[in-house]
């Protein structure tokens, strides 16, 4: 349990929304869509790109991106990438319909108006869906990418080939705003590569996770 989880757990319904898992859709062995519904979700003001900080069953807090939000019906969904055994990944692997889900949010994170390109990894699929963006995804899990990245809606580059990512971004960026998310070291590595291709560094940048760090947000 994290300190943040303890505080949020103690404040409970004063600050947290609570819903229940209505559906878990396995899109690939390590990617699932978790649909959450509940009266607490009604009337929320959600802007695409917002985040939710979910208090997990062990009271760790991890951040995910609502892909959509139906404030009338009280429903949202998350695309959860399962990367290992850490609390967020374990939740994605074990979450079942009927489970309670308590979270802070929606809260402001990244914003984009008009057509945009999301650059990231599997953790940015939800962001790309929320922003209805073209995606340039540097991935380690090709099954997850095949399940999410529709033809014409994005391109996939194997993890580690940042020059190829930068080439794809340079090709896709004309007339579109750039939004960078995902692995911290990739974001860092892209800076000189994009500069070398004449692509200005965007304002909307957020590391979603970093090697060796836990619950980065
Ligand atoms: C604003 C925001 C929005 C986000 N939205 C989403 C989303 O919609 N869907 C989603 O799946 N994730 C999303 N993330 C990323 C997610 O919060 C992190 O991946 C988080 O670390 C997962 O928690 P964990 O308990 O599984 O791992 P942690 O305990 O936080 O990390 C343990 C270790 O696992 C490794 N690690 C963490 N994440 C990954 C990964 N994705 N791939 C490989 N190794 C990893 C790191 O080395 C880390 O040290 C978002 C993060 C932020 C900040």
Peptide bond into 106 cis (omega under 30): yes
Q: For ligand 1, is residue 62 a contact (CB within 6 Å)?
A: yes
Between the CA of residue 48 and those of 38, 141, 184, 186, what are the distances in Å? 20, 25, 22, 23
Q: What is d(CA 140, CA 160) in angstroms, rounded to the nearest whole number?
A: 9
Q: What is the CA radius of gyration of the chain?
A: 17
Q: Which atom of ligand 1 is nearest to the CA of 63?
A: 17
Among 81, 83, 71, CA closest to 46: 71
What is the per-residue pLDDT for 111? Answer: 96
pTM of the model: 0.96
- Residue 208 CA to ligand 1 center (angstroms) comes to 6
Q: What is d(CA 55, CA 64) in angstroms, rounded to the nearest whole number?
A: 11
Q: For ligand 1, is residue 70 a contact (CB within 6 Å)?
A: no
Alpha helical stretches, state H, 29-183: 87-94, 125-131, 142-148, 162-172
What is the per-residue pLDDT for 129? Answer: 97
Residues 6 or more apart whose CB falls under 8 angstroms from that of 179 comprise 49, 110, 112, 116, 117, 118, 119, 127, 131, 133, 202, 204, 205
Strand order in the sheet with 116-120: 154-158, 134-139, 116-120, 177-183, 204-209
Q: What are the tens digits of pLDDT across the range 130-184?
A: 999 999 999 999 999 999 998 778 999 999 999 999 999 999 999 999 999 999 9
Instruction: Give the domains, in start order, of the chain with CATH numbers.
Output: 3-107 (2.40.30.10), 116-209 (3.40.50.80)
Count each helix (H run) and each strand (E run) in the chain, helices first.
Answer: 6, 12
What is the per-residue pLDDT for 1? Answer: 66
Q: For ligand 1, is residue 89 a contact (CB within 6 Å)?
A: yes
Q: What is d(CA 202, CA 18) in angstroms, rounded to the nearest whole number?
A: 34
What is the per-residue pLDDT for 150? Answer: 84
Q: Which parts of the chain register pLDDT below 70?
A: 1
What is the per-residue pLDDT for 7? Answer: 74
210: DSSP letter: -
- Residue 198 CA to ligand 1 center (angstroms) comes to 30
């Amino acid at each position: 349990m994290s300190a943040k989880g303890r505080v949020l757990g103690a404040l409970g319904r004063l600050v947290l929304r609570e819903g229940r898992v209505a559906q878990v859709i396995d899109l690939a062995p390590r990617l699932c869509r978790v649909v959450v519904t509940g009266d607490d979700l009604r009337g929320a003001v959600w802007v695409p790109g917002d985040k939710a900080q979910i208090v997990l069953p062990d009271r760790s807090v991890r951040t995910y991106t609502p892909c959509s939000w139906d404030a009338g019906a009280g429903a949202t969904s998350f695309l959860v990438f399962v990367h290992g055994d850490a609390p967020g990944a374990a939740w994605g692997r074990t979450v079942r319909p009927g489970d309670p889900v308590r979270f802070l949010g929606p809260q402001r994170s990244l914003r984009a108006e008009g057509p945009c390109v999301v650059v990231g990894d599997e953790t940015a699929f939800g962001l790309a869906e929320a922003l209805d963006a073209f995606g340039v995804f540097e991935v380690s899990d090709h099954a997850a990418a095949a399940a999410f990245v529709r033809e014409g809606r994005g391109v996939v580059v194997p993890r580690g080939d940042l020059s190829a990512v930068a080439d794809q971004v340079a090709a896709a960026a004309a007339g579109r705003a750039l939004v960078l998310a995902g692995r911290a070291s990739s974001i860092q590595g892209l800076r000189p590569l994009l500069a070398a291709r004449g692509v200005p560094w965007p304002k909307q940048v957020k590391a979603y996770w970093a090697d060796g760090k836990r619950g980065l947000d």
